[in-house]
Amino acid sequence: MPADLHIHTYFSDGSESPEAVVELAKKAGLTAIAITDHDVVSGIERAAARGRELGLEVIPGIEFTTEAYDSEIHILGYFIDIKEPRLLEKISRMQKGREERVFKICEKLKELGAPVDPEKVFTLAGHRAAGRPHVARALIEAGHVRNFREAFNKYLAFHSPAYVSHYKLMPTEAVELIGQAKGLAVYGHPAVSACDGIVPELASAGLAGIEVYYSGHDESQTKHYEELARKHGLLMTGGSDFHGSNGGREINLGDIMLPDDLLARLKDEHLRRNRS
């Protein structure tokens, strides 16, 4: 019963609907998936409904964008209660921050001689809480860059000139918020952040696992994070970070197939922590 615990829909910056994601996952031979949209939980109920029809387990999840030590740290949450009031309040603040940030990015792009219309970005996203990949698409469509890579390198990447921050949680805050929503927090794609030093404080805040198996991790990085997880007594999870066929990267469902026993351990830990 292989699982993929890191998937985006068009409620953040994926290109597929929740239903389409579930159908693709079923076709790929997965038996469980987690929907982990950036800073939002809007796709989960629809995915779960389609999952029930097709006999595919849908785990409610989220991927929080956080920042610390001059690095972007992504914290995944699993088995969260998507109606938890404090979670919803933070999400709504983050969504507003994302919208405001698009206007700021567009102002910077104008100054840099690569103007894009913020409304075009929102249209491409299909919602107002857009992300940088939507800006990247607008830049490509306007003819300012040839591809995603150029859009990020030249303008949008963390230290590039049109980068703008938005309201974010601290990594430990995200871990605590996930715990408050009865979920399990996992450090997402740690090799992308390259900030291993943060693991002890995340662990103290209640981190449950590390996303060891990830489409962007090479063999040595996977091995390194297996060891780091063991060292800190953390569970090992895995996911593809699928963003859809039009998501700007070549990742498919089925690229990561997390074995049963690792998902079972995650579920045990979830039960253990939420016994009343």
The residue range among 4-12, 71-79, 178-186, 194-202 that interacts with Zn ion, by the rule CB under 5 A, is 4-12
List residues near ligand AMP by CB under 6 A. Answer: 13, 38, 65, 131-133, 148-149, 152, 157
CB-nearer residue toward Fe ion: 120 or 222:
222
**Structural Rg of the chain based on CA atoms:** 18
Question: Do you know the residue count of the chain?
Answer: 276
Give the whole-angstrom CA distance, residue 165 versus residue 235.
30
Among 4, 13, 16, 23, binds Zn ion (CB under 5 A): 13
Interface with Fe ion, residue 74, by CB under 5 A: yes
Q: How far lies 171's CA from each of 39, 187, 269, in Å? A: 13, 9, 21
Q: Amino acid identity, residue 141?
A: E
Q: How far is the CB of 197 from ligand AMP (least distance, A)?
A: 21
- The size of the interface with Zn ion (CB under 5 A), counted in residues, is 2
Are β-strands 71-78 and 235-239 bridged in parallel, bridged antiparallel, or unpaired?
unpaired
74 binds, among ligand AMP, Zn ion, Fe ion, none (CB under 5 to 8 A by kind): Fe ion
Q: Which two tokens stand for residue 119?
A: 């409304």
The helix or strand, by DSSP H or E, that contains position 133, with its residue range, turns out to be: helix 132-141
CB-nearer residue toward Fe ion: 3 or 114:
3
Interface with Zn ion, residue 37, by CB under 5 A: no
CB 184 within 8 A of CB 84: no
CB-nearer residue toward Fe ion: 84 or 241:
241
Judged by the rule CB under 5 A, the positions of this chain that interact with Zn ion are 8, 13
Judged by the rule CB under 5 A, the positions of this chain that interact with Fe ion are 63, 74, 241
